[in-house]
Amino acid sequence: MSEQMEHFRQQVYYWVSKIPKGKVTSYGAIAKLSGFPRHARHVSKALGSAPNRKKLPWQRVIGADGKIAFNSDSDHFAIQQSLLEKEGVKVIKGKVDLKLYAWKHPLEGDKKTSSQNSGIQAEDFFR
DNA sequence: GGGGTGACTGCAG
DNA sequence: CCTGCAGCCACCC
């Protein structure tokens, strides 16, 4: 039983590692990609206990509304904001403009909203 | 077994 | 744009 959770966690790490630098996605999106649609909360938990946390671009996973999920006065919040800005993602009042930085992941197909994926790096995309 | 707890979400107001 | 709230679900007392 817990074997499935293990699989889930691995899927989470896999997909998070696929988020291109300079882009962000939501906990819910990762949950969906991992095969467990309603488990956004568990994605955060998986990230928090990730053994290779230092290696994963966990900062690229934020709330569905574009907001950093940590309490704005916490250290975690500051660190995440710092990491994101370091790779070019602007954080205004704790949130990211999804119009500019949302990762167009696999399951989204192509909604012809290609408005601004101009410089998407083909190499970072789809491995 | 029962109740509280989030690094969540979507929708109402 | 922001706040509130019900739904969600594995985990931890």
Q: Which positions of strand C lie within 7 Å of protein CB atoms? A: 2, 8-11
- For each of chain A's 127 residues, which pLDDT tens digit applies? 677 888 999 999 999 999 999 999 999 999 999 999 999 999 999 999 998 888 899 999 999 999 999 999 999 999 999 999 999 999 999 999 999 999 987 777 544 444 334 333 333 333 3
User: Distance (Å) from CA A66 to C1' C2?
Assistant: 14
Q: Which residue is nearest to nucleotide C9 (CA to C1')?
A: A39
Q: What pLDDT, on a 0 to 100 scale, did the predictor assign at position A77?
A: 95
Q: What pLDDT, on a 0 to 100 scale, did the predictor assign at position A117?
A: 41
Q: How far apart are CA A16 and CA A61, in angstroms?
A: 8
Q: Sketch out chain A's domains with CATH numbers.
A: 2-116 (1.10.10.10)
Q: What pLDDT, on a 0 to 100 scale, did the predictor assign at position A47?
A: 96
Q: Give the CA angle between residues A38, A33, A50 to the nearest 5°.
A: 85
Q: Which positions of strand B lie within 7 Å of protein CB atoms? A: 6-10
**CB of A39 within 8 A of CB of A7?**
no
